Amino acid sequence: MEGALNRILGYQKLLHTETLSIDKVESILQDILQEELATRVTIDDIQKKVCEFYHLTMTDLLGKKRPANIAFPRQVAMYLCRLLTPSSLQEIGIAFGGRDHGTVIHACKSVENTVQQEPTTKRTLQFLQQKLISKE
């Protein structure tokens, strides 16, 4: 907490300003905030929440089946793991049924592409992130 405050004060002095917007403070502290999120959310938390949201079983999520109603939620879960945990690509792949890091990279890119094409996917990701962060 003290480090975050010092960072903000240092930035203020550097810019010779008395006030900073909330957006600017979030930008300055982005790495600290992401680190905090990463320490609180686990791969298991994400898998459970995605299964609950998409009405899947854990067996479906971790299994080898690839119909769209299973594959896309699995990609979403991998994407959220990459975003919200400090886990490596390899660790994420292993947690999803022994997949390799390339599968995780592909999943993340697929979700990012879908977000740009379908606004509902962005809202879904935001909803899931909020649920995970607040541990609901």
Tens digits of residue pLDDT in 33-83: 776 655 688 999 999 999 999 999 999 999 999 999 999 999 999 999 999
Q: At CA 35, angle to CA 12 and CA 74, rounded to 5?
A: 135
Q: Whole-prediction pTM value?
A: 0.72
Tens digits of residue pLDDT in 77-105: 999 999 999 999 999 999 999 999 999 99
Structure tokens at 30: 């982005």
Report the share of the chain in percent with pLDDT over 70. Answer: 96
Tens digits of residue pLDDT in 11-35: 788 888 888 888 888 888 888 777 6
